[in-house]
Amino acid sequence: MLRLILIIGSGSFAGGVTRFLLSRYIHSNADTTFPLGTLIVNITGCFLIGIFYGMSERSNLLSPELRMFLTVGFCGGFTTFSTFAAENISLMKDGNFLYFGLYTGLSVFLGLMAVYLGNMFIQKIL
């Protein structure tokens, strides 16, 4: 059990650092108040988790430990629901209801589609 906790923890660390760096890069290069960095990170994470679950369903490419590292650890640390919620509250407080609706709708719809497409992608190539 301790081994599995360390595997997940190291994946979460890697995912969190990657999220921070990618989100910061996007925010520094996009001149908008729209939370584009978090949206891109969350949709990318959804696509990746679809790929990882698809790989573990269709083949033996991922050991149980690697699957936990990538899905629970990396993708769990990479994506961020709490930041998504905080950014939505900030958009509402600022009266930016268009961006609030757009961000919420795109996040939910594109997130679900990304998981589905990632899974379908793996099923087509394996």
Q: 């760096």: which residue's tokens?
A: 21
Q: Which domain holds residue 115?
A: 2-125
Summarised one tens digit per residue, pLDDT across range 11-22 is 999 999 999 999
Q: What is the DSSP letter of 73?
A: I
What total number of domains does the chain contain? 1
Residue 60 corresponds to which tokens in the numbers above? 């033996």
Summarised one tens digit per residue, pLDDT across range 47-70 is 999 999 999 888 778 999 999 999
| Closest C-alpha among 52, 45, 80 to residue 66 | 52
d(CA 22, CA 87): 17
pTM: 0.91
pLDDT value of position 59: 77
